[in-house]
Amino acid sequence: MEKLEKNVLGKRQPVKQALTGALAAGMLMLPSVVGVAPVMAQQTQQQRSDNQLSYSELIKKAQNGEVKKVELDETDQTARVYLKQKPETPLRVQLLNQNGELIAKLRQNKVEFGEASSANSRAAVGLLINLMWILPLVALMLLFLRRSSNASSQAMNFGKTRARFQMEAKTGIKFDDVAGIEEAKEELQEVVTFLKQPEKFTAVGARIPKGVLLVGPPGTGKTLLAKAIAGEAAVPFFSISGSEFVEMFVGVGASRVRDLFKKAKDNAPCLIFIDEIDAVGRQRGAGIGGGNDEREQTLNQLLTEMDGFEGNNGIIIIAATNRPDVLDAALLRPGRFDRQVIVDAPDRKGRLEVLKVHARNKKVDPAVSLEVIARRTPGFTGADLANLLNEAAILTARRRKEAITPLEIDDAIDRLTIGLTLNPLMDSKKKRLIAYHEVGHALLATLLPHSDPLNKVTIIPRSGGVGGFSQQILNEEVIDSGLYTRAWMKDNITMTLGGKASEVEVFGEPEVTGGASGDLKMVTNIARKMVTMYGMTDLGLVALENQNYDVFLGRDWVTRNEYSEEVAIKIDRKVREIATECYQEARRIIRENRALVDRLVDLLIEQETIEGEQFRQIVAEYTQLPEKELAKVSQ
């Protein structure tokens, strides 16, 4: 018990927990005591046989002066005899009903004797045994009481908000740490300025937006922007995910919304950040099987709190989503989310700024050009660029280098875009077939005037079944604007079919493999868009198809054809005509440059990778490629 009290005083635990621990210890001690009792009884019997003395021997030893002290126990009719030779080990003697002779001998020989009763120790042992049976029952009762109290407290807090609250958010992120999305930062800077200097806006009658919706694809920095706002604004900050509102029980989500806004009003002015709001803000009353009552009640309560009968002055709501098309129209109207901020993938300048931010804490070799990395990564988001530098740092550590070099950057880009590098192929026949296929792509990418320039071609296999690849430097302006020309599309289709055309021209139709299946899908997709969406054929300037959307709650389950069966037949014919025309053009170019193809294949098998500049120099030697074309593709 003393040890228990020290633990209680030292750790300052609640009294109930200490008592429960003691009771549990008693439960653990009980079976050990019961199990050990027979063994203790056997040991006691053995000790009695070794330390026992007869009544006559006691009298004889008393007469001889060998006895030092005798303790008489009338209750047990025993005596404990301490001899002068062994005063520390008493001997037990069974007494008679009348012990007058013994007492006389003891007095005669001046032996110290007295009475010692064991009734008190027996009573203590009996009480301890009774307590050992009672303690488990008391411990069980306390356990049930504790569980019931926890259940009641959880039931009382079930409808409470789960938002993380900070009086002054210390995220460690400022607007300087967010790069590549300057337009979004400008609009959100107004929110911070209003919270710090509201009179600047109210003086001219301006009203800050009640809600700001951050819209953009995954990884572009929406949550990072919210953290930056929290780090810049010195006001209370609530953060919660949309999925934390919805529960299995109807009404819990609405209760959490009410509790969240109640706390926000008590701490106004403040910020509320709702991440992935599409989890709770989807369109109501649509979809197969009807709507979800719990989700719709939660959304209705959110709409009322944002802009209902009672105002919520001083509360600014920031939400993030990558699915704005599924949100309810009432949630997007002015007065709730007054402003939508598009957080898109950064351009080349933005990617350069993002790379500078993520390269601060990394050892980068001076030979690494962040400008070149930004130019080679069109379409990369901020999260992709951060992952790129992290993968390069991992490769650097694995190769035991002191700083990140251009080689690690190239390998990291290939790993993220193509796949993990595998062991080179050993089978010469398969290796040569893949080499002809990839050289077909690379040669057409170099010779076609409207195709994107070649970056490199390799036959080193990658994870995911990629035997090799031909990589181009994509035109960022075309990708960002989406303004694809008809000439670019046809050259892209021709280049994509170059691998299959090279296999047919070199090995013949019977030896063609299924390696061009992915190429054919890409060709069909581009050709169909030319016919049905861009009006680039003689079917007319009519949009026959719309963009395909994934099936989700709030959209139609079955898509409706927007043209007749007769037009569908014409579309299929036009798609086939475009693909066939480009395929014949690809075969013609391969056939006319067969010697060049053979030399490039031999070089590729030897080196396994050919960079774009070396590839273009070899092509220029054979085809007399104009100098201006070489300069254009080299840029």
Instruction: State both tokens at 202.
Output: 């109210």
The Cα 92–Cα 79 span in angstroms is 6
B/e letters for 418-446, b = 16+ CB within 10 Å, e = fewer, are beeeeeebeeeeebbbbbbbbbbbbbbbb
Q: Which residue has the tokens 């411990």?
A: 139
**For residues 545 and 533, what is the distance between their CA atoms, to the nearest angstrom?**
6
Give dist(CA 372, CA 370) in Å, integer.
5
User: Please, which residues bridge with residue 78 across strands?
Assistant: 73, 94
Query: Which is nearest to 594 in space by CA: 440, 385, 392?
Result: 440
Please name the residues in contact with 493: beta carbons below 8 A apart, sequence gap of 6 or more: 523, 526, 527, 578, 579, 582
Out of 438, 503, 505, 585, the active site residue is 438
Cα–Cα distance, 549 to 547 (Å, whole number)? 6
Please, are residues 181 and 225 in contact by the beta-carbon 8 Å criterion?
A: yes
What token pair was written down for 413?
A: 């880009």
What whole-number distance in Å separates Cα of residue 246 and Cα of residue 240? 12
DSSP strand E in 307-431: where? 315-321, 339-342
| Residues 281, 324 contacting (CB under 8 angstroms) | no
- Contact between 515 and 467 under an 8 Å Cβ cutoff? The reply is yes
438 as an active site residue: the answer is yes
As a whole number of angstroms, the distance between CA 243 and CA 253 comes to 10
> Which of 308, 307, 297 is closest to 336 using CA atoms?
307
Burial status of residue 541 (CB atoms within 10 A of its CB: 0-12, 13-18, 19 or more): exposed
Alpha carbons 111 and 90: distance in angstroms, whole number? 15
Distance between CA atoms of 86 and 48, rounded to whole angstroms? 16
| Collapsed DSSP state (helix, strand, coil) of residue 419 | coil
Compute the distance between CA of residue 15 and CA of residue 231 in angstroms, rounded to an integer.
42
For the record, the structure tokens of 632 come out as 């254009």
Tell me the three-class secondary structure of 468-481, residue by residue: CEEEECCCHHHHHH
* CB contact set of 147 (below 8 Å; sequence gap of 6+): none
- Confirm if 382 and 220 have CB atoms less than 8 A apart: yes
Q: Which residues are catalytic?
A: 438
